[in-house]
Structure 1
Amino acid sequence: MAQPPTSESASVPSGASGGSGAPPPPPPPARTLVGAGGSGGGPGKPWWRRTRTLVVAGVAVAVVAGLSVLLVERQPSGSHSTVAAAQVTGQAVGSPGRDPYTGSVAVAASTSGGGAGASPSASVGASPSANGSGTVDGGTVGLYGGTEHAASCDVQQLSDFLTSHADKGKAWAGVEGIEPSAIPQYLHALTPVVLRFDTRVTNHGFVDGQATAFQSVLQAGSAVLVDDHGVPRARCACGNPLTPPTADTAPPQFGGDSWPGFHAGQVVTVSPAPSAVPSLVLVDQQTGGWFVRPVGGSGTGDQRTSSPTATTTGTGTGTGSGTATGTGTGTHSAATSGSASASASGASSGSSHSTAGSPAPGGGGSSGGGGAGVTSAPGTGPGGAGSTGGAGSASP
């Protein structure tokens, strides 16, 4: 009987010759790509080469991106604010402050009237008119102070320093928008004054050959140089150039020096006067009086003036046909627009003697009108004109 073939003989492919050699190794198993399709069991296309898969993936990415934008837009406006509060560095009267250009060129007398602790309420004279944002016009009467016939800053000393230190002079001039060669002329066109109010500025220090800007508040009593629009341009305690402060996008945070009487709500910002002013009306820090300083003056051209709130008087006499004589007083306030008012108080009497002394019954004279007012306050008008006396009636 024939024997069934063994497993070895069954595995030999047909047509192969017999022999005693080892059978060939079995073929490797077929590889299957993740995501391969088809019913034939063969490998499919890679996912990145299939149009349908790419379309679905693109739609998914677009949906996720849209949801992200929507969620960001719906966040409360204040929940993730990126607006940083301005850091404002306080600088006291005598402090050289941050990154000074020079040593102090301030004259010591400038601190005697508005020195440490000075505040708007403690300052001599009237306060400037500030709007709700604390902004004051640079030409405001009494915004600045000083000492009559004396400069609060040595302009020549500052000019000599900047022109002899080319690196600092170049940086200083760049802040002010001028050429270094124009520094002497520019400085001598500025006016030395003393701040009467804590004042915001953009200060500029000097570091590694460059000007560095930072927000600052200068204490009342600080000596500064202002231009012909009343804007501070240099701080005399350190020589640093100044420009107007930047607008706050959030409530500022104050650091640096501190002093008694400081209050953030009383800090002022000086805005340029609408047009150049020929002079500034200052408060004398020594006496409390008022004087006018020409722009660019160093004190030699100062002229004393009346207080803007002073009242001056004038007299007038009106005579009637009777024997009564009335005297009036005209008044004018420099704080008004220049109009004057006159008031009269005439004496009405029935004197038995005329002014010449002859006996005659006198009639009742009407009061005389007010006389012309005279004032020396700047910008004032004439007083009211005196009216003529009323006709007196004579008894028989």
Structure 2
Amino acid sequence: MRDATRPRPSTPRGPARTLAALAAALLLAGCSGGDPGEPGAQQNATSPAREVLLQPAGTQGPAPFTASTAQEGAPVSQETPPVTGVSDPAPAGHALTGSTPGLYGGTRRVASCNVEQQVSYLTADPAKARAFAEAAGIPEGNLADWLRGLTPVLLRADTRVTGHGFRNGRAEPHQAVLQAGTAVLVDRYGTPRVRCACGNPLRSPAAVEGAVHTGEAWPGYRPERVVVITPTSATVGSLLIASATDNTWLERRTGTHGDHDRRPDVLPSCAPASCDLLTDPPRPVPESSAPTTAPGRPQAPSTPPSAPPVPRHTPAAPRQEERPGEPVAPPVPDGGDTAPVPDVPPAPDVPPSPDVPPVPDGPAEQQPRPEPPPSFEELIPGDTAPRQPETFEG
């Protein structure tokens, strides 16, 4: 017999049961819904993986939705480079809005992707069309018109995205970095939505803590230069793209495939090749400080050569007037009180005696002494050698 006092387990009824079923469906789908035309809807893509796949522009990549529809950029190979394992940490990337001048490139009157071929590939397979629309966040019945409203361009910077591969009838999200030169389709908010080399839908990247790179990096890859493209706050009517042929600016209307390309009325302050995309707005890259003189050609001095240095000490004037035929006494340092030696006729035939004892101090009349030998000035007159400047100051 059943115990009437024992409470029965409660089960959701009515609206509560509907909400529980909807939450379970969203959890299993692993992707966001919402209006694809709203900018916020593109920021909800998530991925449980912590690995960020490096995808070169010339490879189709893993689990493609379709064959390549790229008509511009690097030739697409069906072979996928082997994944070499986890490598360096993956940075979050520099955020740039989709309307940034020069963020995309292309060739005048040339579509980077064959949009009609992309529509044909997806609509021919209902399972792929359903999975693509679910991952892109659009109604399946509106898939063809939505694709035709995208704009084909080329990435001009390595770009972080959330990609989706097609496996087991479903779209599986993964984090990726697309190499510059990759052909993509962008929406009216300036954000990439389809990778043309594989037909995979793209969404804004998910913030993954501790993300690391996988795959082989291409030459010139710099993690600190990776960008994240954010949608504009309102739809844009055109994109200012860089010409891939002559380093000029092109204005491409959104939703067109190059047939309405024109020269923009207002040009940025720098040419596409010299603009730094990581500045907002883009500014010219600082010029190199290397000399511009041609090899083998001497560079002219910036200032005229200076005058020769002036000697620190100027020779003093002669102490006495020189007269022809008369000996000149040697100079006496400043501050001395020695009287000049009187002129004595030279006696060259009397050699000096080295054995003469020194003369003691005192008056000459009190010290009897022999006849003194001739002085140095008497033997060698002062005018026999050039005079030298003074070397001491008083």
Residue ranges of structure 2 left out of the alignment (5+ in a row): 1-47, 76-91, 272-280, 284-394
**1:75 alignment counterpart:** none
Shift of the alpha carbon at 1:92? 0.5
Spell out, residue by residue over 1:120-156, the C-alpha distance to the aligned partner (whole angstroms, 9 max, x if none): xxxxxxxxxxxx9511111111111011110000000
Match for 2:167 among 207, 211, 223?
207
Match for 1:189 among 137, 149, 156?
149
Is 1:172 equivalent to 2:132 in the alignment?
A: yes
Spell out, residue by residue over 1:228-287, the C-alpha distance to the aligned partner (whole angstroms, 9 max, x if none): 11111000000000000001322x211124200111111100111111110000001111
**1:356 alignment counterpart:** none
Tell me, in whole angstroms, the C-alpha distance in 2 between the residues paired with 1:214 and 1:300: 34
Is 1:110 equivalent to 2:73 in the alignment?
A: yes
Tell me, in whole angstroms, the C-alpha distance in 2 between the residues paired with 1:154 and 1:105: 5
Matched letter for residue 219 of structure 1: Q
Matched letter for residue 227 of structure 1: D
Q: Is the 8 A contact 1:283 1:289 kept in 2?
A: yes
Q: Judging changes above 3 Å, is the alpha-carbon distance between structure 1 residues 262 and 136 closer, same or farther for their aligned structure 2 residues?
A: same
Tell me, in whole angstroms, the C-alpha distance in 2 between the residues paired with 1:137 and 1:310: 19
Q: Is the 8 A contact 1:292 1:304 kept in 2?
A: yes
Q: Is the 8 A contact 1:190 1:227 kept in 2?
A: yes
Match for 1:220 among 171, 180, 193?
180
**2:212 alignment counterpart:** 253
Q: Is the 8 A contact 2:101 2:282 kept in 1?
A: no
Shift of the alpha carbon at 1:179? 2.1
Question: Any idea what SS the aligned residue of 1:241 has?
Answer: strand
Question: Any idea what SS the aligned residue of 2:200 has?
Answer: coil
Question: Any idea what SS the aligned residue of 1:152 has?
Answer: coil
Between Structure 1 and Structure 2, how many residues are aligned? 211
Matched letter for residue 112 of structure 2: S
Is 1:286 equivalent to 2:250 in the alignment?
A: no
**2:189 alignment counterpart:** 229
Spell out, residue by residue over 1:331-387, the C-alpha distance to the aligned partner (whole angstroms, 9 max, x if none): xxx989xxxxxxxxxxxxxxxxxxxxxxxxxxxxxxxxxxxxxxxxxxxxxxxxxxx
**1:148 alignment counterpart:** 108
Q: Judging changes above 3 Å, is the alpha-carbon distance between structure 1 residues 299 and 104 closer, same or farther for their aligned structure 2 residues?
A: same
Question: Any idea what SS the aligned residue of 1:298 has?
Answer: coil
Shift of the alpha carbon at 1:202? 0.3
Matched letter for residue 241 of structure 1: P
Is 1:274 equivalent to 2:225 in the alignment?
A: no
Question: Any idea what SS the aligned residue of 1:297 has?
Answer: coil
**1:94 alignment counterpart:** 58
Spell out, residue by residue over 1:101-133, the C-alpha distance to the aligned partner (whole angstroms, 9 max, x if none): 1111000x3349xxxxxxxxxxxxxxxxxxx95
Tell me, in whole angstroms, the C-alpha distance in 2 between the residues paired with 1:303 and 1:296: 15
Tell me, in whole angstroms, the C-alpha distance in 1 between the residues paired with 2:66 and 2:155: 20
**2:120 alignment counterpart:** 160
Q: Is the 8 A contact 1:85 1:249 kept in 2?
A: no
TM-score (structure 1 length as normaliser): 0.51
Tell me, in whole angstroms, the C-alpha distance in 2 between the residues paired with 1:160 and 1:140: 31
Q: Is the 8 A contact 1:201 1:218 kept in 2?
A: yes
Shift of the alpha carbon at 1:304? 1.8
Question: Any idea what SS the aligned residue of 2:263 has?
Answer: strand
Larger RCO: Structure 1 or Structure 2 (Cα < 8 Å, ≥ 6 residues apart)? 2
Match for 2:98 among 114, 133, 138?
138
Same amino acid, percent of matched pairs: 41
TM-score (structure 2 length as normaliser): 0.51
Tell me, in whole angstroms, the C-alpha distance in 2 between the residues paired with 1:94 and 1:253: 22
1:211-360 alignment, distance < 5 Å = 211-250=171-210, 252-305=211-264, 307-309=267-269
Matched letter for residue 271 of structure 1: T
Q: Please identify runs of 4+ aligned residues in structure 1 that moved more than 2 A.
A: 109-112
Tell me, in whole angstroms, the C-alpha distance in 2 between the residues paired with 1:183 and 1:310: 38
Shift of the alpha carbon at 1:310? 5.8
Matched letter for residue 224 of structure 2: G
Matched letter for residue 110 of structure 1: G
Matched letter for residue 73 of structure 2: S
Question: Any idea what SS the aligned residue of 2:128 has?
Answer: helix
Tell me, in whole angstroms, the C-alpha distance in 1 between the residues paired with 2:282 and 2:158: 25
Q: Is the 8 A contact 2:251 2:263 kept in 1?
A: yes
The alignment yields a C-alpha RMSD, in angstroms, of 2.3
